[in-house]
Amino acid sequence: MASSANKAAWAMTAPGVIFFAALLGAPMIMTFLLSLHAYDFNAGVLPDWTLANYADVLGDSYFHKIFLRTFGLAALVTVICVLIGAPEAYVLSRLQNPWKSIFLLVVLGPLLISVVVRTLGWALFFGGNGILTMVAQGLGFSDEPVSLMFTFTGMTIALVHVLVPFMVISVWASLQKIDPQSEDAAWTLGASKLTVLRRITLPQAMPGILSGSIIVFALTASAFATPAIIGGRRMKVVATAAYDEYLSTLNWPLGATIAVLLLVANVVIIVSYNKLVERRFAKVFE
Amino acid sequence: MQRLGPIALIFHALFVAFIMAPLLMVIAVSFTDKGYLSLPTDGLSLRWFYAILDNPDFISAFWVSVWLGLLSASIAVAMAVPAALAMARRKFPGRDAISAFLLSPLMIPHLVLGVAFLQFYSKIGMGGSFAGLTAAHVVLVMPYALRLALASATGLPQDAEQAAMTLGASKFTVFRRITLPLILPGVAGGWILSFITSFDELTMSVFVASPATQTLPVRMYHHIAQTIDPLIASVSTVLIVLTFLLMLVLDRLYGLDKIFVGKG
């Protein structure tokens, strides 16, 4: 039975829910339906239902390569972000104020600056007449211009830069919850620095490392701006491939199929990873 | 607590250098006096900042982004605040589902939102319109507005509101004079974060915007796809400075670390 209090609560959420149903629900369902139609270059979108697009994408070695590259890139970026982001979060948590607040601002601030601007910075480094070439030539490594534009390495470096603040903040959040006395206790009992780090600090930072990983992985897998600018047409990832299907080839149904697959992969990975993490670390999250 | 050793401090310095490097690079290049990309080795020049004024498309794109951010952040906050108050205070049937629905854009890649809106708007004849772009941005920023409003409404003591009601204040007066001031820091933080998210968004907008409604990131992206020159560096420098100022406000108002925990 709907009490008047429940009705009031529903009424308060209604504007958002109705807005979302019309402007998120409807477009998403339409995109899914579009992916179930074939496309003909003369006739446009054909009326009959088919799974041909899914068969095309899942059976084509060209798309295999793009999906593999995307998820390989996401895995690599995630690992590097763990390796440099987690230690940085640890260092940040040990700094004294005011340094702590200042460097927290320095590390997190770039999240608010447009990805286009941050990627542009790397493009300036990587371009054929950029700093990289000057350094390499100055040190005598190479007489040719050195360029990381349109390379996997270049994309990796730029994406690590774009996403590592998410790792730092998420590890930072779990380090904040640690009782410093647990480390002091370990020292008092004669544990070495390394043992304390390995047996006390790291296990307690683990939930942050795991939730940071899932954020970084998901955002890398669906990243568009950085791969488009640094990777270009030569290093396509899923997002840039879908962009080309929509705006260059104009094969919308195929683009919709790629988008649906990206969404499904993203949701499956996030949800299953969350389940896993929650089960393993149920105690830590309480 | 153990003090940090030299290795940790060297690591920290390298990390900060890595974070700052591309931004400093953009800023340095924007001050070049040459007509091409180079570091300002023979002196600083503001010529590329004056050049922005000769490129009205960047300026109009800037204003599109400002209006878009103001409108979408305000609409999202207006819908998020009542929803957050309902969700934070009552356990009603469907609450968790509604919360998951309103936060779901966080899980959807912007590319997917972009293609979905592209098709939807061209079907209903709103392709490339500013209203359509605004609505799309409202969907995009709603989770940020909602999360910060929820955080400040949760656990909010109700005695002041009850006192006001006992004294005969109307529901709206209670909301305006008591509830809203109490949750204002979170709501304002959510508004600014929504504004910045909308202002910076590229991936979705690139599908939704038409040449007439190009946002600044979309304009910049198309420029970079054609050519990378000192002009785009000076535009970026202006953006970096503006973002930095907003960031200071946000940090004062709410604390940057609190805002980003769980963003993604």
Name the residue among A90, A114, A123 with its Cβ closest to that of B239: A114
Q: Which amino acid, one-letter code, is at A286? A: E
> Count of A–B CB contacts within 8 Å?
279
Contact call for A172 and B257, based on CB within 8 A: yes
Taking the CA atoms of B210, B211, B216 and B218 in sequence, report the sign of the dihedral they define.
positive
* A51 Cβ neighbours under 8 A, 6+ residues apart: A36
Mean pLDDT of the residues in chain A: 87
Nearest to B77 by CA among B85, B89, B66: B85
Whether B26 sits inside 8 A of A221 (CB atoms) is: no
Closest to A213 (Cα-Cα) out of A43, A95, A15, A77: A77
Tell me the nearest-neighbour CA distance from A182 into chain B, angstroms.
Answer: 10
**What is the arithmetic mean of pLDDT over B5-16?**
93
Question: What is the spatial distance between Cα A275 and Cα A191, in angstroms, rounded to a whole number?
Answer: 34
Q: What gap in Å lies between CA B243 and CA B231, rounded to an integer?
A: 19
pLDDT at A91: 93
Specify the CATH class of A65-285 in words. Answer: mainly alpha
Chain B CB contacts of A19 below 8 Å: 79, 135, 138-139
Chain A residues close to B110, C-beta within 8 Å: 222, 224
| Chain B residues in contact with A158 (beta carbon < 8 A) | 22
Q: What is the mean pLDDT of residues B146-156?
A: 86
pLDDT of A282 higher than 50: yes
**What per-residue confidence (pLDDT) applies to A286?**
43
**Interface touch B217/A218, C-beta < 8 Å:** no
**What is this structure's pTM?**
0.89
| Segment among A70-84, A87-101, A141-155, A256-270 with least mean pLDDT | A141-155
Residue A48 confidence (pLDDT): 85
pLDDT digits (tens, 9 = 90+) for B82-109: 999 999 888 888 899 999 999 999 889 9
Domain spans of chain B, in order of start: 56-260
pLDDT of residue A281: 67
Considering only the beta carbons, identify the residue of A19, A169, A225 that sits closest to B221: A225
Q: Using CA atoms, how far apart are residues B113 and B207, in angstroms rounded to an integer?
A: 9
The residue of chain A nearest to residue B108, with distances taken between CA atoms, is A263
CB atoms within 10 A of CB B42: 10
Q: Which of A12, A246, A270 sits opposite B115 (nearest CB)?
A: A246
The answer to whether the Cβ–Cβ distance between B82 and A270 falls below 8 Å is no
Q: How far off is chain A from B105, nearest CA to CA, in Å?
A: 9
Count CA within 13 A, CB hemisphere, residue A118: 26
User: Whole-angstrom Cα distance, residue A87 to residue B12?
Assistant: 9
Cα dihedral B60, B62, B65, B69 sign = negative
Is A94–B196 a contact, with Cβ atoms under 8 angstroms apart? no
Q: Is the dihedral of CA B14, B16, B19, B20 positive or negative?
A: negative
DSSP A48: E
CB contact under 8 A, B19 and A106: yes
Residue B66 Cα, gap to closest chain A Cα (Å) = 14
Summarised one tens digit per residue, pLDDT across range B13-29 is 999 999 999 999 999 99
**Is residue B261 over pLDDT 70?**
no
CATH T-level assignment (fold) for domain B56-260: MetI-like fold (1.10.3720)
Chain A nearest-CA distance from B98, in A, is 7
Nearest to B16 among A16, A103, A252 (CB): A103
Tell if the CB–CB gap between B108 and A263 is shorter than 8 Å: yes
Q: Residue B128: beta bridge partners?
A: B209
Burial class (CB in 10 A: 0-12, 13-18, 19+), A226: buried
The pLDDT value recorded for residue A69 is 94
More confident residue, A277 or A53: A53
CA–CA separation, A227 and A234 (whole Å): 10
Contact criterion met (CB < 8 Å) for A112 and B111: no
Q: Do A243 and B247 touch (CB under 8 A)?
A: no
* B152 confidence band (pLDDT: 50, 70, 90): confident
Q: How confident is the model at residue A102 (pLDDT cuts 50, 70, 90)?
A: confident
Tell the residue number behind the tokens 């350094």, with chain if given: A135
Residues 6+ apart with CB under 8 A from B93: A2, A6
Domain ranges of chain A: 65-285
> What ipTM goes with this model?
0.88
Kindly tell me if the per-residue pLDDT of B43 is higher than 80. no
CA of A187, closest CA in chain B: separation in Å? 10
Cβ atoms of A255 and A245 within 8 Å: the answer is yes
Beta-carbon separation of A173 and B257 below 8 A: yes
Contact A239 B109 (CB under 8 A): yes
Confidence of residue B263 (pLDDT cuts 50, 70, 90): very low
Enter the tokens of residue B57: 């498309």
Cβ contact (<8 Å) for B261 and A266? Answer: no
CA distance B182 to chain A (A): 18
Check CB contact under 8 Å for A123 and B263.
no
Cβ neighbours of A87 in B, within 8 Å: 8, 11
